[in-house]
Amino acid sequence: MPSYLRAVSPTVPTQLFVSNAHGATNAGTVSAFSVAGDGTLSSIGASPFADDQTAPCWVELTRDGEFLFTVNTASADISSYAIAPDGALTLLGNTTPGGLGAASERLRTPASAPTELTTSTSTRPVPV
């Protein structure tokens, strides 16, 4: 199981999140770990947390540490999670970038699927 980009919580620096692209369709997960002072990792809650998508390959957290997003490159969508204070994740849903219609269908092809993302403090809408 390849693991991809990881993120440390901006509000709880002892929480680490890692996307896991399992080798099967709709089998992706995100792992949550607690990092001890000596670097030892311990799973948080029921980690790994289901993504129900394929090949999550990027993890991004909001600056307030309340939400996590992962890009699912093979299923061409973005999953969102709520982060509990203890680091446990709750899957909120999956969104195909680009809204509705033909543009969304184009994004669902591997050549044009999203591969990374970042959050912003801007109040302006950001097209995806």
pLDDT for residue 27 = 79
State the DSSP string of 55-66. Answer: -EEEEEE-TTSS
Per-residue model confidence (pLDDT) at position 6: 67
pLDDT score for 102: 43
Give DSSP secondary structure letters for 26-53. T--EEEEEEE-TTS-EEE-TTPSEE--S
CB atoms closer than 10 angstroms to residue 71: 25
pLDDT of residue 29: 86
How far is it, in rounded angstroms, from Cα 33 to Cα 125?
32
| Whole-number pLDDT of residue 96 | 77
* pLDDT, one tens digit for every residue, the chain (128 residues): 445 556 788 888 899 998 888 777 777 889 999 999 999 999 999 999 988 787 777 788 888 889 998 887 777 788 889 999 999 999 998 887 665 444 444 444 444 444 445 554 444 444 44
**CA neighbor of 69 nearest in space, from 2, 128, 111, 22:** 128
Whether 35 contacts 87, CB under 8 Å: no
Given CATH 2.130.10.10, say whether it is the number of domain 3-112.
yes
List alpha helices for 51-114, DSSP H.
102-107
pLDDT reported for residue 124 = 46
pLDDT at residue number 58: 79
Sheet containing strand 77-83, strands side by side:
56-61, 67-72, 77-83, 89-95
Listed in sequence order, the residues at least 6 apart from 128 whose beta carbon sits closer than 8 Å to its beta carbon are 78, 97, 98, 114, 117
